[in-house]
Structure 1
């Protein structure tokens, strides 16, 4: 079994209204030191294989086909 964490974030330059709303809420909650917030998504994926190379290829394909909108989002993944 291989476990991985996929992180998807908006590309630099893409507007992030949710991140801006969170930033404003944190300021309202008296965290004025917060300079910027960008939001994203995290997926924990378990693959029923022991083949690390295959897992990496499959994770890349999953991100490209479903988990990330590669036009506006970047992704990274880490295998445990």
Structure 2
């Protein structure tokens, strides 16, 4: 199990929840559906969307939601 909040030389920056949260927050210029947001993230970072990446993206969204930076209404995610 990786520690998603610490950086070390064996872990890529794309596996860090804080970095991913920052990138997702920058992508949320308007309300987005989760699937669209994940696709935008993978295209911007030039990485393939996989189950492991989606799991980390959900953790990043949960982190942003828990600190009050985003909210979910229906199926859409938006900045607060």
Same fold (TM over 0.5): no
Q: Give 1 or 2: higher helix fraction.
A: 2
Larger radius of gyration: 1
TM-score (norm 1): 0.29
